Structure 1
């Protein structure tokens, strides 16, 4: 008998809609590989939503009803899992935090794309998931298409991770790449990125280093069991860089990158975010444009580096649905 797995989606921006589109397109794949009938039974934005126990098609997301939103709306859908894809505010955890608290308390699995709640109240969410038996997955919140959390959870099991170094923000990597290799100004590079649609209209979280800090913190806390907060990290961005500094790096054949770094001091972890300049021979110097990279140093498997990326928002949606496949593999046993 085919099992049913019902999904509710909170957040209907670009990433949320891309996730819904890919999810619905993959339903036959889920049937064939896991014997599971996956249904999208509810979806909502900040003010309106839509629900159907028999399953929604993509066109229904264009016909939302005012007032159908919030954790109680998700609960009423009787979904087995929540995909949280709303806006992200690491300073308050909102708006995703109450959705996730309610879902995990009700023993729903959760796939998290936005970073805010994981940064703001990650320990409590981990504890809730453990207590309820819910599966909490977060690939979409940790550099999306770039494999990061999965390297820690699956590929490097049995190793002691000694340190992590990551180019985790596509916008700042594009800006630095344009400034150092094409010689254009920060303002010109930012204008290009915003016109192309991958830089935010308010880019401060990216260019000041906070987005990188959030991703690194999630990797540390959820991937390695650390207990770091944003206040524990020294964070600086790229907004302060001047032409003289850029020219100096060019003259020395160095390539600057905004990098999040995690390292051990005894049994504790330390973390920071800032600009590091790499020689041309270093793999990080080759990470161009909107690509990202992570380098993990271990005691037994040596140094593992992954780099690359995909077009947004589909790359982030695909990362979230990778998490769904991990969940289906467990729940369909």
Structure 2
């Protein structure tokens, strides 16, 4: 039976959940694809573990300090790298170094963190193509919500005329809380942080940068564009007031933080901004921390996906969907 060796860079909440679910699904992989999947290396920024015979969940508590970095994973000779580290779109670190090194070896990549894809998405695509490596990115584009899959395969033969998405769960939760209960932004944010629904430092969510990152990945990987953050107009929801809430409730409209791409005669326009929708629009009914993507096409009309799941399971599931697609289409 063929062995498929897997390494995980980034071993926080998401990376550990991916590892647990990967190990739990090994019998599925054997039965469906005839492969013996082994987790041969994991690491975070400070420590890691490498084990050719395969890491088990009991080993997660035995990471070795200093065992980390791209060279450490190279020694494990993985067939697939799952990159699940922290995300910094300004530098691409730390995931960019892992991806560059492992893709250059021909190792397939499953990417969860957004930073490297935003910073160096097109070069990483070219590197993978040059070495024959495959790059899958579902976990980086709104987690469990089908997004990149729809663009890559669901709309083959169509021309995408534009798309818009509610791609950040935190801002959707905050706007829903404000609208449903008539509370202000500061109160909604305090409650969300107390309940674990918002980060203690939420600026990248509320200022629109997380949405912009996901929008850029969809643009460059799903629509074959070559955009950078400088090409995206970005604004957030921090300026929403109680007067705004009252006016929208009176008008019968619902606010959403939306990432949008439009194709114009002078080229594509990418924007993240607050938009309002009437009650008969599906975007007015994106509940809680759910997300949504709407794609306008020339011959399939309007395609809408909506939903979400609890974290970190949702993102881990998206990553393992990508992994399973690699198993289903071996090189």
What TM-score does the superposition give when structure 1 sets the normalisation length?
0.98
Matched, 1:297 2:315: no
SS of aligned partner of 1:264: strand
1:156-171 mapped onto 2 (5 Å cutoff): 156-171=155-170
Alignment match, 1:69: 68
SS at 1:290 equivalent: coil
Q: Provide the rounded CA distance (Å) in 1 between the counterparts of 2:40 and 2:265.
A: 48
Shift of 1:65: 0.3
In 2, Cα distance between equivalents of 1:192 and 1:7: 39
- What is the alpha-carbon root mean square deviation over aligned residues? 1.0
CA distance in 2, matches of 1:42, 1:196: 34
User: Which runs of structure 2 are paired with 1:157-306 in the superposition (5 Å)?
Assistant: 157-266=156-265, 268-306=267-305
Tell me how far 1:267 sits from its aligned partner.
Answer: 7.6
Q: Secondary structure at the match of 1:37?
A: strand
Number of the residue aligned with 2:13 = 14
Alpha-carbon distance in structure 1 between the residues aligned to 2:2 and 2:22: 17
State the partner residue of 1:316. 315
Give the corresponding residue for 1:53.
Answer: 52
Correspondences of 1:7-156 after superposition (within 5 Å): 7-156=6-155
Q: State the SS of the aligned residue for 1:125.
A: helix
Q: Indicate if the aligned counterparts of 1:262 and 1:271 stay in contact, CA closer than 8 A.
A: yes
**Distance in 2, Cα, partners of 1:103 & 1:198:** 34
Cα distance in 1 for residues equivalent to 2:319 and 2:307: 17
Kept in 2: contact 1:165–1:295 (CA 8 A): yes
SS at match of 2:329: helix
Contact 2:184 2:241 (C-alpha < 8 Å) held by counterparts: no
User: Do 1:198 and 1:312's aligned partners in 2 also have CA atoms closer than 8 Å?
Assistant: no
**SS where residue 31 of structure 2 aligns?**
helix
| C-alpha contact (below 8 Å) 1:253/1:280 kept by paired residues | yes
Greater Cα offset, 263-272 or 135-144: 263-272
CA contact (8 A) 2:45 2:68 kept: yes
Q: CA deviation at 1:195?
A: 2.5
For residues 130 and 198 of structure 1, what CA distance do their matches in structure 2 show? 38
Alpha-carbon distance in structure 2 between the residues aligned to 1:198 and 1:15: 16
Which shifted more, 210-219 or 260-269? 260-269
| Divergent runs of 4+, >3 A | none
| Contact 2:183-2:242 within 8 A present in 1 as well | no
Give secondary structure in 2 for the equivalent of 1:273. Answer: strand
Asked whether the equivalents of residues 259 and 272 of structure 2 are also in contact (C-alpha less than 8 Å), the reply is yes
Structure 1 stretches lacking a partner, 5+ long: none
- Indicate the SS of the match to 2:320: helix
Shift of 1:191: 2.1
- The answer on whether the counterparts of 2:42 and 2:50 sit within 8 Å (CA) in structure 1 is yes
Unaligned 5+ residue runs, structure 2?
Answer: none
- Partners of 1:40 and 1:56 within 8 A in 2: yes
For residues 221 and 190 of structure 1, the distance between their equivalents in structure 2, rounded to whole angstroms, comes to 32
| SS at 2:5 equivalent | strand
Q: Contact (CA 8 Å) 2:263, 2:269: kept in 1 or not?
A: yes
Whole-angstrom CA distance in 2 between matches of 1:329 and 1:313: 24
Q: How many matched pairs?
A: 331
Q: Could you tell me whether the CA contact under 8 Å between 2:22 and 2:320 is conserved in 1?
A: yes
